[in-house]
Structure 1
Amino acid sequence: MTALPPAAQQLIDGKLVAASDGSSYPILNPATGEEIGHAPDGTAADMEAAIGAARRAFDESTWSTDRDLRVRCLRQLHQALLDNADAFRALTTAEVGMPGFMMMAAGFDVPVDGLKWVTDLAETYEFESDLGVASPMGIRSRRTVRREPVGVVAAITPWNVPTQINLAKIGPALAAGCTVVLKPAPDTPWVAAELGRLIAEHTDIPAGVFNVVTPRSNDVAALLTTDPRVDMVSFTGSTSVGKAIMAAAAPTLKKVFLELGGKSAAIALDDADVAAVAGGTAFAACIHAGQGCAITTRLIVPRDKYDEAVQVAAATMESIGAKDPADPGAICGPVISAVQRERVAAYFDIARAEGGTFATGGDIIDQPGNWIQPTVVAGLDNSSRLAQEEIFGPVLVVIPHDGDDDAVRIANESAYGLSGSVDSADLERAKAVARRIRTGTLAVNGGVWFSPDAPFGGYKQSGLGREMGVAGFEEYLEMKTIAEPA
């Protein structure tokens, strides 16, 4: 068994430290409920120190202007992650409850590849472009557009795929020349703290450029959204919290990036292989116990194939089951916490009250840890709460449609617009439907959009801005137009 990394510590102004008052909180393995470590319970004084350090590092060091230094340091971090990959993967399974197969994707490999990708981009990116000569108002002028780092970035990240989301924020922010304060979710502070340790011990990133503070208190975390020394808040999490962050940041007019919730639809058109779509969608809804904002959790199928889709989805989920995430065959592990388990279980009561039935699942699993039965809900329409609200558990709702227009209507009748899929025997037909779906990412006939070079984000209440790709890098840049006599 691979040993876990050293104990979690905060990184503030280049130093690995405990909380200023010595307080800490336990880190629990969601699969067993057992304590696996402790994290510093960061204080308001710790947050104040981290923000101050990030501000000084941006204003007084060469980090924002020295591209070569940034590239060298980020390559050092990339190598440190590769050198410590086994321990990082083991920690992710233990702290997050993430099945091992996900380490080849969002759990570890893709975000680490993404760090290299954005470092390569920063090395060649044109931070300055020439608009040429013109004569606005009769004055002959040469215009230049410069792209400069936003400044101090507060990165506030969730617990579901923490390494992916941590690196998707800090990679482009640091590559752009920003300084960062990372505030991870209190359910998964250790993986963020381990990033801080690797930066402190294995890179030449100057003190204060990257900081990690691990408070449990929402009041401490909220300081990042109101402090005038912070120039940008980059947040991934629930839509309700995203709205609160946007409101809190408004008085200082911070730039705000939000990647929020989803209730994505998988559409099978009437010429699709409905069994294949149902099986694939049920599999996706089980991955990491359904704890992914872009997972398709609404299966929209032709009405005359509804029963078949429900049966196949249920059989697929039953074959997958919920397993120890350390099991090499695990697809669906535990949910993150007892709080989340009870939240998902409450939706089962809502389903019953709304007239839904369970083709499989519909209950918690009574054993140590935070376990939910993979669940297929039938008999509800798109107006039901289970079809409209993000559950964040292994729960799939199957909804009938009456043709392409109806399928599009159902998919778009949602507050969210993050992802989705369309399947048809006719690729052009599937693409035509996909173009009508108001979401930020879409898979057509099994295509895969998740990649470091592809922008990710949502329409409507799924967020503002894009992460990953060139667009994700440019979120952390400001534009300045300079004119001189020509």
Structure 2
Amino acid sequence: MSSHNAFWRGESSRLLVDGTLRHGRAGEFPTLNPATEEVLGLAANADAADLDDAVGAARRAFDDTDWSRDTALRTGCLRQLNEVLRAHGDDLRALTVAEAGVPVALTYGPQLDIPVADLMWFADLADGYAWSQDLGVAAPMGVRSRRTVRREPAGVIAAITPWNFPHQITFAKLGPALAAGNTVVLKPAPDTPWCAAALGRLIAEKTDFPPGVINIVTSADHSIGARLTDDPRVDLVSFTGSTATGRSVMTTAARTLKKVFLELGGKSACVVLDDADLAAACAMAAFMVCTHAGQGCALATRLLVPRTRYDEAVEATVAAMSRIRCGDPTDRRTICGPLISARQRDRVEGYLALAADEGGKIVCGGGRPAKHPKGFYVEPTLIAGLTNDTRVAREEIFGPVLVILPHDGDDDAVRIANDSPYGLSGAVHGTDPDRARSVAARIRTGTLSVNGAVWYSADAPFGGYKQSGIGREMGVAGFEEYLETKLIAEPA
């Protein structure tokens, strides 16, 4: 891919504003390889004026063009983007591994290939969607009226994305937002600006998206996101990130009464019932929490096991986790790569120190792997001996860290699983499917896996209860987050 290959030669990335690739007015900022700590290159650094231009372009594209009304144009552009992304997939794959530290094996699934394919699902959905519904004739207050419900795009969307799944989360916002007829200003995390900038260059150079429909603004200035949320020209904010930042987004958006979608943190529980295959369930929990070094909001980071088999469960989990090594993300055998940054590694190590202060015991891992003196690695870690009221058991760590907790039967397991400010995901393991299904039904989370089944799919809504967010992403529910409802009454 010409854009990506140019990046490797040291060329800086660009912003995409009003269909044009341009430098940021605030200069440039570096992006790092988290596996080597080397500077990959420079990214365009937007300032408030760049953001103002991007929002203005999105506003004009929505208000003054046929984009919002031309479904065929929108779905055609999405299908074209899918083709372009697939054609440049290997270059995007290498870029994602280098910048985000994503194990390359995951880019053949949820880190790249699957979300690219998901764009087609949203294009097909828009083509067949019932944009209007006839409610028939009624006579409210004696006036015969024919009522029609119309679904229309919300307007200008501020899409603010994190670094852990730089393509999946971006396309989970762009796909439905664009298919629904909105225009978008995308503000990616400063840790992964090139992933977003490569997308911007492909859109500008290889697709027929009209100017202003998609704008991509990279910046090292975190206040840019707040400005975007506060801008009265923005109609809806779609944010994925920490719960703390989500609160700020919601507060700022309230000043102009914007609609908000928030996909936030999690501290999900993997519940192992007393009739489960204990070793298999513990091995699956260990594998999942180490995937992408635990940098996934929906990963289960609390392992709830029968108290009578607690020691056995600890032993089984240690055996499984000890076989998982931190590795070079370019190696196809690696599932646990580096953390994204030194800052994130410090955060994880702070929680490991806190675990000891709270009376816990690190029974596996807990340090930096000697094999990787460079890179932001933390060993897969299991913490035992804590209760569910400790900070380490309650707060999101975002690293390859699993806390194992005992329960005293199904009711107690449900109580502990639900005793959390979060409610994003979880898992249940048990031999009796009816019993496992009954337990799953009582756990208050947005997604749940029973006996290893996978809930992630383009047609499946994703989101959380409680402080894990507001609204749903993906599926028809995710598409409709980007729509407004209008009722038109005419004389009958």
TM range (shorter): over 0.9
User: Equivalent residue of 1:301, what SS?
Assistant: strand
2:207 is aligned with 1:203? yes
1:391 is aligned, of 390, 397, 402, to: 397
Deviation at 1:6, TM superposition (A): 3.5
Deviation at 1:418, TM superposition (A): 0.3
Q: Which amino acid aligns with 2:14?
A: Q
2:64 is aligned with 1:63? no
In the other structure, the counterpart of 2:297 is: 293
2:467 is aligned with 1:461? yes
User: Is the CA contact (8 Å cut-off) linking 2:297 and 2:398 kept in structure 1?
Assistant: yes
Q: Which amino acid aligns with 2:353?
A: D
Deviation at 1:304, TM superposition (A): 1.1
1:38 is aligned, of 42, 64, 69, to: 42
2:22 is aligned with 1:17? yes
Distance in structure 2 (CA, Å) of the matches to 1:350 and 1:309: 23
Within 5 Å, give how 1:105-184 maps onto structure 2. 105-184=109-188
User: Is the CA contact (8 Å cut-off) linking 2:4 and 2:198 kept in structure 1?
Assistant: no
User: Is the CA contact (8 Å cut-off) linking 1:239 and 1:461 kept in structure 2?
Assistant: yes
Residues 238-297 of structure 1: CA deviation (Å, up to 9, x unaligned): 000000000001010001000000000000111011111100000000000000000000
Distance in structure 2 (CA, Å) of the matches to 1:51 and 1:26: 25
Distance in structure 2 (CA, Å) of the matches to 1:89 and 1:312: 34
User: Is the CA contact (8 Å cut-off) linking 1:3 and 1:87 kept in structure 2?
Assistant: no
Distance in structure 2 (CA, Å) of the matches to 1:287 and 1:225: 32
User: Is the CA contact (8 Å cut-off) linking 1:5 and 1:194 kept in structure 2?
Assistant: no
Deviation at 1:87, TM superposition (A): 0.4
Residues 170-204 of structure 1: CA deviation (Å, up to 9, x unaligned): 11111100000000000001111111111111111
Q: Which amino acid aligns with 1:449?
A: W
In the other structure, the counterpart of 2:92 is: 88
Q: Which amino acid aligns with 1:15?
A: T
Deviation at 1:369, TM superposition (A): 1.1
Distance in structure 2 (CA, Å) of the matches to 1:422 and 1:365: 31
User: Is the CA contact (8 Å cut-off) linking 1:28 and 1:35 kept in structure 2?
Assistant: yes
Could you state the TM-score of these two structures normalised by the residue count of structure 1?
A: 0.98
Residues 417-455 of structure 1: CA deviation (Å, up to 9, x unaligned): 000011111000000010000000000111110001000
Deviation at 1:104, TM superposition (A): 2.3
Identity of aligned residues (%): 61
User: Is the CA contact (8 Å cut-off) linking 2:462 and 2:473 kept in structure 1?
Assistant: yes
Task: Out of 212-221 and 392-401, give the one that drifted further.
Answer: 212-221
User: Equivalent residue of 2:95, what SS?
Assistant: helix
In the other structure, the counterpart of 1:480 is: 486
In the other structure, the counterpart of 1:359 is: 363
In the other structure, the counterpart of 1:401 is: 407
In the other structure, the counterpart of 2:430 is: 424
User: Equivalent residue of 1:129, what SS?
Assistant: strand
Deviation at 1:376, TM superposition (A): 0.3
Deviation at 1:135, TM superposition (A): 1.3
- Runs of 4+ in structure 1 over 6 Å off: none
User: Is the CA contact (8 Å cut-off) linking 1:144 and 1:483 kept in structure 2?
Assistant: yes
Distance in structure 1 (CA, Å) of the matches to 2:256 and 2:417: 36
1:229 is aligned, of 218, 222, 233, to: 233
Distance 1:4 1:305, change over 3 A: farther
In the other structure, the counterpart of 1:215 is: 219
Deviation at 1:89, TM superposition (A): 0.7
Residues 27-46 of structure 1: CA deviation (Å, up to 9, x unaligned): 10000000112101111110
2:89 is aligned with 1:73? no
Q: Which amino acid aligns with 1:418?
A: L
Residues 51-76 of structure 1: CA deviation (Å, up to 9, x unaligned): 01000110001100011110111111
In the other structure, the counterpart of 1:447 is: 453
User: Is the CA contact (8 Å cut-off) linking 1:263 and 1:416 kept in structure 2?
Assistant: yes
Deviation at 1:365, TM superposition (A): 3.3
Distance in structure 2 (CA, Å) of the matches to 1:453 and 1:380: 38
Q: Which amino acid aligns with 1:412?
A: N
Q: Which amino acid aligns with 2:483?
A: L
2:377 is aligned with 1:371? yes
Deviation at 1:3, TM superposition (A): 9.9
Distance in structure 1 (CA, Å) of the matches to 2:184 and 2:144: 41
User: Is the CA contact (8 Å cut-off) linking 2:48 and 2:224 kept in structure 1?
Assistant: yes
In the other structure, the counterpart of 2:339 is: 335
In the other structure, the counterpart of 2:32 is: 28
Distance in structure 1 (CA, Å) of the matches to 2:42 and 2:54: 20
**Which runs of 5 or more structure 2 residues have no equivalent in the other structure?**
8-12
Distance in structure 2 (CA, Å) of the matches to 1:137 and 1:277: 62
**Which runs of 5 or more structure 1 residues have no equivalent in the other structure?**
none
Distance 1:301 1:467, change over 3 A: same
Task: Out of 106-115 and 74-83, give the one that drifted further.
Answer: 106-115
In the other structure, the counterpart of 1:51 is: 55
Deviation at 1:20, TM superposition (A): 2.0
2:437 is aligned with 1:437? no
User: Equivalent residue of 1:369, what SS?
Assistant: coil
Q: Which amino acid aligns with 1:347?
A: Y
User: Is the CA contact (8 Å cut-off) linking 2:3 and 2:202 kept in structure 1?
Assistant: no
Distance in structure 1 (CA, Å) of the matches to 2:221 and 2:452: 42
1:302 is aligned, of 294, 303, 306, to: 306
How many correspondences in the alignment? 485
User: Equivalent residue of 1:298, what SS?
Assistant: strand
Distance in structure 2 (CA, Å) of the matches to 1:429 and 1:221: 45
In the other structure, the counterpart of 2:242 is: 238
User: Equivalent residue of 2:238, what SS?
Assistant: strand
User: Equivalent residue of 1:174, what SS?
Assistant: helix
